[in-house]
Structure 1
Amino acid sequence: MPDLGRVRRAHHDQARGFRALQLRLRVRRGRRHPRRDRSAPGLAAARAREGVPLPRRSLLVVAEGADQKTTSELADAIRHRLFSPLEVKDKLLRVPAVVVSRHHSVVSAGTFSVLSDLRDLCESQSKEGELPVRRAAVGDVAVEENIDPLTGLWRSNEFLRRSNLYCAGAGSQKCCLVKIDIGNMHIFNEWHGQGRGNELLAAVGATLARAERAGNGVAGFWGNDDFTLLCPNEWTLIDDVFLRLCEVIASFDDSVGFTPSLGVYPLEERAEIGIDEYSKATFACTAAKRDYENHVKYFQPVEYARERGEHLLLSKFQYAVTEGRIMFYLQPQVEIETGRIIGAEALARWRHKDGSVTSPGQFMDVLEKSGFVVTLDKAVWRSLMERLRIWMDAGGRTVPVAINLSRVDIASFDVVEYLSSQVEELRIPSELIRVEITESAFAEDEKGVAALVARFHQKGFHVHMDDFGTGRSSLAMLSDVNVDAIKLDRSFLPNGSVNDEKSAGIVRSVASMARTLDVPVIVEGIETEEQEKLVCSVGLGIAQGFKYYRPMPPEDFEALLG
């Protein structure tokens, strides 16, 4: 590979610079301002700083106020990043150059034009096994910390700064921020090796750099396999970038799983581009990754607001747990014939700082999706058992209490050992705890949940199948899992609709099946006399619902028991 430029290092007062330039930068002691030779290249430097374009084969990077160490670092950076790997149409390119100082905040239009022209002339001639050529470090701060050495693209902070400058000069043209993510990059690295993965990242960087050089915006790299492109908000342009990226990635591996995903966030006029805008583009990119048909997605404000709301809820939830504001209410279970309370179900509640209380329907779905339902359940279980211990110590009446076990709990930790350790620590008889597992959990993993039920039985716990009728239960499955009771879901009770006769038939069938298996049935959600009459007519005698009691604080439940 030809060496198109080499740095002559000098010390202290000796001249420093590129031999190809024949321009000296003298470094003096003290203030150390460089002195320029007024040769032809020196004149070219002055002209470029004034905005006068230079010949296409001139590279100008102005250095003023640079100390010796800075100049040396910049010279090395330019030599390694630009000159060594470049070849122009199979010919050696003799490029005059001057080093730029990192302290420069503004570079003239002429300088930037020259640098762009030089990159357009240069073509990568990488050999097999070598990384593709990285682009030159150009612009007002041509120093290593602003350029990612692998992809040759601007690092995040510099990308944001340049993007704002680009938008400021775009006039009435609308821009957008595009987040780019390579599909399953970790799998690519496992299949092909880290070295080949780096080559892919460099090739993607080169593709985006070409889009930038064509005047289509600013390209950046944020680490891992995350790229960004600030460009005009034109679908044809974005689609062209997507197709070019697909071609590049397919040249490494044409598996569909490595297809890139693009998230597009349209920018408001004169909007400041920062981390918030990047987050919104990332949100759109994540949506694109989930869509196997459309890998380019525009930002959706409604979906973003919903997700932000969920994140806010989770943050508040963590504070509530820390401050002890996650609590439980108890809803009694009664014998219909006598009205006697024979048990209860513990239901989670979230008490806010203003004293208001939120029921699970407003937060349970978010907690289950995020996995934080485990934190909720453990807090409720512990609080319940501590309350049972207090009642037992006071010599009051106690009844079995049902707790809810989610599929997330089952998958996340050993719930049998956890609950066993809790009742042992607090000296609570395990038969006072009824473990409710949803029917859907049984249906998804019948053998696994059946084994779990057997372990609970070994520890003395009773197990109920919750929400019966909403899943895919069968007589055979109920026989295999050996639950102690089933809870008929409220959705099967007549409610004054045209389907009441069908609902009544389902209740009769469940009652008949339960008698066959000799399994007790607890009917949830009874609110009316008609519903109670139906339940009693088919021989079901245990109920839970608003007709009898609403969920109540444990203090009220204790008073109710007497």
Structure 2
Amino acid sequence: MSEGKKIILIVDDSFINRQMLCNILNDEYNTIQAENGAEALEILREHGERISAVLLDVITPIMNGYRFLEERQKDKVLSNIPVIATTINDPHIAEIETLKRGATDFIQKPYNPTVVRQRVENIIKLRETAAFVNTVEHDALTGFYNREAFYAHARRYIDANSEKDFDFIAMDLNDFKIVNDMFGENVGDELLKCWSKIIENDIAKNGMCGRISGDVFAVVMPGHREYSEELFEGYIEKLNRFDLNFTLKVKFGIYHVEDKSLPLSLMCDRALLAIKAIKDDFRKTFSYYDESLKEKLWNEQELTNTMRNALKTGQFHVYLQPKYDLYNNTVSGAEALVRWIHPEKGFMPPITFIPLFEKNGFITELDMYVCDKVCQIIRSWIDEGIEPVPVSINVSRVDIYNPALIETINECVKKYDIPVKYLHIEITETSYTENSMQLKDVVLMLRKEGYHIEMDDFGSGYSSLNMLNDIPVDTLKLDMGFLKKGERTGRDETVMSFVVSLAKKLSLSVIAEGVEKKDEAEFLRSLGCDYAQGYLYSKPVPVDEFNKDFVKTKMPFKGIEEKEKTDFKDVDSEALNDILDTSDFNKIFDSSAAVSALMEYDGKDIYVKRTTKDFRNFMNEITGKTGPLFKLREYMSEKAFDCFKDCFEKARKDGHRFDIILPFSENVEKKTYIRFKAKILSKTGDKYEFMADVENADKFTDGKGKIIFNGEVRRCEN
């Protein structure tokens, strides 16, 4: 074959006819010959789209031309290769039948060389034009229409069905840039292909799909469908089956197409505005567009335009809210909070600008500004001979992705020459739910530098108890809003008691924030809670006022009598059992996305005391049993249990944490390797209580029982 020439497949059972066509075409094309439809299909499957066109005689043995065309249509690739059908018998009937089966053109025998060459040239040009249009219109990665083509085709789709209602749904894959940065662009591409399949097969079965930008997709589909959080969470759950150690989230914005004459680009803008409204609300996966969003976004844009000038001109002020020791009623520390006093708008509530700054990234600059001011405040106390109290600064979930975060904080501390112990760092629990690995790395580096870490908003309803096992924090800040949804009940108190008790067993101090009433403070003290913060004691105040009222005078809080500190109040086991399956307790435990459990070990067996829902599902799947599991020893061989005992004993003596992979091989249908990541919490007599995250560790084996793992973990193979 001559290089550079296009290839034509000639299908005819007559050698003379094949040679005749070869002679007509050989000057401009390379030719391949087949005697029948079956042989032609094999050649097409071998060469694929390298074949530019097929000349097909309708009447051939074994597989005739009609059958060939029908089989070709079943193959997505082969159906794109144009076919010119030929015959001498009943040409009019043959032409109709071949065109019905997907032939592109028809030539009647005997052949006119000029006509044959022109028809072949035309059909190849037509195919190349269609391929070019397809390339221009379609996204190469996902196969979806690109933005402009999507708008054009969606416009025709809506106009052709003007009597129907439509919804425009935009979809934004959150933190996709982080996926690319952490795992590489190849993994990111595979993730996008996975997501596009979910969109095509599940979300937009009867609609039209487009890729608007890197991680933003859109669908136009018939409207008035019932949408719910459960529906969209189901799609996100499918996406999270993609093998990636990263929690993927998607936001959906829905615009009910009320004005069909609206340009598609504006419909898309409205759906994206709906996404923007919930971008940072991890409770919501979807939102509808309404006109009020316009005004909200206009206001946000106005704040965005003025924020840097506001920082430069000193419109942001640091306020301090005292933290009180619940036992001696004295100030034990403070939290630094930022307030924006605008020259025209006056005092602006943080809720109006903090979420916006988290979205546009300015929060990082503002947080570091606050850090600098707090270090300056602590320095002024030292210079005045005043014993400082620790002040905590908030590190936004956005800050944890800032590679210069720790260096910047260290520079502030060095600049004002203050001891690290006076600067506490507050991180939010939502940072853990969004990216536990990144947060863990940041916290470990901060603690290595000597900073005291406080976990904010624990108990707000989105808590992950495995976070306590995974992230080495020093203090838990409990959100009292957890108990303010109505009258406090005995069940509420038991849940709070459990959380305080668990924190204490993990050697964490506890601060309750949002304390507004004396009886709340008394109740917290009875649980063994260490500190309180809230309007009962003081609202956030300017630094001068804080210095005058709290630092220089060391003024105690007069509303509650001092009381000697006692050991923390442990959880009453009967009361705890009463609430294990209630929604109140589930809010604290079952909201965990981890496969976690509280367990007890006495040297003879491992007893399961409390589990997350995912743990129950995980263990039931492995053991084949339904309902709760209470003992795990029966699923381990002697060797596996001895490995566990040795690992536990070592952890008991140094560090209290352990990480082990061992097989469940007894009383199960299939041997399964399980990884336990755990921390010992407490000891009562000969019994040890520990909390563990578990996962299927078969992925860390070679399939023959040998464990392959690139980290520090105890291995048990049998």
Q: TM-score w.r.t. structure 1 length? A: 0.49
Q: Which has the higher strand share?
A: 2
Higher RCO structure, 1 or 2 (CA under 8 Å, sep 6+)? 1
